[in-house]
Amino acid sequence: MSKQRALVLGGAGFVGSHLCDRLVAQGWEVYAMDNLQTGRLQNIAHLRRHSRFAFVEHDVCEPFHMPAERIYNLACPASPPHYQADPVKTTLTSVLGALHALKLATRCGARVFQASTSEVYGDPEVHPQPETYRGAVNPIGPRACYDEGKRCAESLMMDFARSRGVEVRIARIFNTYGPRMDPDDGRIVSNFITQALRGEELTVYGDGTQTRSFCYVDDLIDGIVSLMEHPTFAEPVNLGNPEEFTVLDLAELVRELVSSHSPVTFRPLPPDDPKMRRPITQRATDLLGFAPKVPLRAGLARTIEYFEAQLDAEEKRQSATALIDKRGRAPSSVRARRTVNGSASR
């Protein structure tokens, strides 16, 4: 089909902003919708002047009317500190966001992509995890707002596909990392990098033997775009890197790449935190030719470079603020810098 309009819900978020980049580069007219609860305008600042990009501030818990040929639903806080801060809102964002996306698709004949999650597998009793595994989720635990919200969103997608003929695509996304992660979002990669760069202890929850699989964001976007454009397949597809690392493996690699001597400190494992996480990605390989290309070491190096720039910018902002507080006014150079930064990220 000729490329037309794509609506990206959660388009100012970490993954959403990278998706917007890719779609604009492919020739789509892209609308990024975000309520900025966890999304950041700085993630899309470079796109704001592009003729085929527009940002819409809106909460997907409320209905929206924006005709598009492709609707990508990535609207939901994804890190435990963020989604547990307001668990009721998290559940509603997952469920109502999916419902409103599907209703819009029904009206305008769009195809809908649902960003689901490996968390639908819970603390798995099957390892590694295939799409046929139904999971071991605690429906009343502190993570249920996210886990069950995403499971319900998948249910809505399949019911709209079966009963109303909406074309849906569902990806179960495993741990993803890369530039534009919020340094303070509480995820394992961002935690370790920021702690190492600040010379702080690296916090490991549990004994560090639990495992994760880390996919660089560019590889994930390859999979998302390819899945959306698959002509027929509607069932869930795992997207992630099938290589498996322990939490201590990751901590040691981050310390090495940062040249950090920060010690590791251990804290109790949070309730329902998965002990093992690794996707079986054969379905994605067979359907899409999906194969992650960026090794963990290379992807972490790029992510560390981004975080270093973010932390350096924050230190400069704090220094400027301290200088203003001390003198009662900003020097002209500081005032000029604040004006430039403000125009890009307000």
- Beta-bridged to residue 246, according to DSSP, are 211
The amino acid sitting at 30 is V
Residue 121 is a catalytic residue: no
| Type of residue at 94 | S
Query: Quick one: which of 207, 214, 235 has its CA closest to 294?
Result: 214
Nearest to 155 by CA among 124, 189, 116: 116
CB atoms closer than 10 angstroms to residue 106: 14
- Annotated catalytic residue: which of 121, 146, 177, 216? 146
Active site residues: 146
